[in-house]
Each structure stands twice: as structure tokens, then as C-alpha cells.
Amino acid sequence: MKIILRSEAKAHGLKRYFSGKPCKHGHVAERFTLSYQCVECNREFGQAWDKANLDKVRERSRESARRLREANPEDAKERNRVAYEKRMAVLREQTLEAERATGLRGMKARKAYIESFGDFPDRRRLSSR
């Protein structure tokens, strides 16, 4: 990373600069031009605050999602449709696996599979990538 002075960063209108020197917590990272604060310290502080104020974070997230839905109802419908299709694809895949493993059909196969093998492995990660 190229070393740039704070004064140069301010002159060019940059939000961050890199001094090459460690902060008081030992991070050698970019710093914010306005506050001198290390970007890494800022990230850690933010994560700690989020963890300590989980209710506030969740409420803000819900409020933000509500505003987004109200501003773009058609986009929200499309996101819901895509999410539903993904869930259904996972369900179909799990049901087929259960039917092959148990020789039964439909929900009976799913119930028998869960009784025999425990729950299904999480396939959402595999199918969403």
C-alpha cells in the first residue's frame, strides 16, 4: 500500500489515508482523514457495539427492510418469489434424497429419514452458490 500523508489526502478529497505506522492497538491499516482513526479499530468497535446492542441492530434492520419494501413493492415481490423458489428447490432435493434412502414417498419419507438419520444436512449453502 502506498504511503500518503493526511494533508495530501485532505487536499485530494480522500476519505482515508495510509501512514504506514501502527495505531495504538498495533494495526498497520488505513486511517480516516477526518478522525485520524484506524479503519481496523473502527471496524472492531462497530462489531463490538453491534454485539452489545443486538436489539437496536435488529430493529434498525427491520425498519430498513420495511422502508425498502414500501419504496419498491415490485422488487420485494420478486425477492420473495426467488427466495420461495430456492426454499422449494431445497425441499424437493431433500424429499428425493429421503425417498431414495427410505423407499417411501413424500412426507412419510421425510419423517422416516429424519427419524433414522437425524435432520437433513444443510444444503442451502450448496444450492445458493
Structure confidence by residue, pLDDT tens digits, 16-65: 999 999 999 999 999 999 999 999 999 999 999 999 999 999 999 999 99
Residues 6+ apart with CB under 8 A from 105: 99
Question: Which DSSP symbol is given to 32?
Answer: E
Structure confidence by residue, pLDDT tens digits, 78-117: 999 999 999 999 999 999 999 999 999 999 998 999 888 8
Please tell me the pTM assigned to this model: 0.57
- For the four alpha carbons of 8, 14, 20 and 24, in that order, the dihedral sign comes to positive
